[in-house]
Amino acid sequence: MKWQGRRQSSNVNDARGRGFTGGRKVAAGGGFGLIIALVVFLLTGNPGVLTGGLDNQNIIVPSGSQQQAQYEPSQREQQLFEYAGVVLADIEDTWNTLLPKEGKQYVEPELTIYSGMVQSGCGTADSGVGPFYCPRDHSIYLDLSFYDTLIERYGAKQGDFSMAYVIAHEAGHHVQTILGVTQQLDELRQQAAAGRLSQEEFNQYSVRFELQADYLAGVVARYMAEKGYLEEGDLEEALSAAAAVGDDHIQKKMQGYADPDTFNHGTSAQRQRWFMEGYKAGDLSGWDTFSNPI
């Protein structure tokens, strides 16, 4: 992707080296202190540790941690940081252009880049969770080490555009939140929790929801292509990343077999397909993964 010298979004929070105090400040006082929304939207169905840590007495926040601690990224990591800022700027341009056509105003999300551990509006998360979006504070959370994880652990192809896919997918969850789809999934989640919907049925909705985020990532890639920002190999890198985070691929890698009833993000083939559907359409015309066959 052609990114050097281009605009970086001003919505990036640098929370690296800040331990538990990254991200946007979220009011945890009043009666809401203990009610933490733990629902976040991940890139993969393979979460690490996420806890409602805002009031967790076991967490000791080092004094003075509000200030930026000494964090010295490698040159490569700093490049990735700047790259992520340019990707976010393209995401903003895409949705600032497209959402008004749907009669919706786009509220730009934030991107919090952290290292190791972060306190999000949805609880405390470690890097093992992978990239995620918290609808409560409208922020995407990303530890840049995920780039290596994607390649080394999940087997994606080398290449910067895999990270563009990752960020655009999480930003897709933000679009879903603006358009009310996230809230509909939350209702289904509550039905499942109350036993009115089986977990398997809920998983099928979850897959459709995640494939929709992949579609929305494809729409962003199309916008970048039309602006002349894509380079040869970029789409292949995105498709390789989409395949790497497919449920069947991850499950076979981690446990040796795939159990379709537990899929909640879609197979590699589905994730690639819906990314490309979004890329081909370049708008929301084909985004209904809930009514259409997936």
Residues that bind Zn ion (CB under 5 A): 41, 210, 213
The answer to whether the CB of 148 falls within 8 A of the CB of 159 is no
Per the CB < 8 A criterion, the answer to whether 22 and 53 are in contact is no
Instruction: Give, for 191, the enclosing helix (H) or strand (E).
Output: helix 181-193
CA dihedral for 60, 64, 65, 70, sign (positive or negative)? negative
Which letter, b or e, does each residue of 112-151 get, where b requires 16 or more Cβ atoms within 10 Å of its Cβ?
bbbbebbbbbbbbbbbebbbbbbbbbbbbbbbbebbebbb
Q: How far is the CB of 265 from Zn ion (least distance, A)?
A: 6
Q: How far is the CB of 5 from Zn ion (least distance, A)?
A: 31
The residue written with tokens 């499942």 in the block is: 192
215 closest CA partner among 281, 274, 172: 274
| Residue 16 or 169 having the CB closest to Zn ion | 169
Q: Which is nearer to Zn ion, 118 or 213 (CB)?
A: 213
| Smallest distance from Zn ion to CB 218, Å | 14
| CA 10 to chain CA mean position, Å | 18
**By C-beta, is 119 or 176 nearer to Zn ion?**
176
Label residue 23 left, alpha or beta by phi (over 0 means left) and psi (-120 to 50 means alpha). left
Q: Which is nearer to Zn ion, 89 or 213 (CB)?
A: 213
Output the smallest distance, CB 41 to Zn ion, in A.
5
- Give least dist CB 131 to Zn ion, A: 8
Which is nearer to Zn ion, 18 or 250 (by Cβ)?
250
Comparing CB distances to Zn ion, the nearer of 41 and 83 is 41
Q: Output 40 or 113, the one with its CB closest to Zn ion.
A: 40
Closest residue to Zn ion, based on beta-carbon distance:
41
Three-class secondary structure of residue 79 per DSSP: helix
Cβ closer to Zn ion: 114 or 165? 165
Report in angstroms how near the CB of residue 54 gets to Zn ion at its nearest: 23
**CA atoms of 245 and 268, how far apart (whole Å):** 7
Q: How many residues does the chain have?
A: 294
Q: How far is the CB of 213 from Zn ion (least distance, A)?
A: 5
Tokens 């991200």 locate to 23
**Min separation Cβ 27 and Zn ion, Å:** 26
Q: For 104, what's the count of Cα atoms within 13 Å in the CB-facing half-sphere?
A: 15
In the numeric block, which tokens belong to residue 13?
């929070």
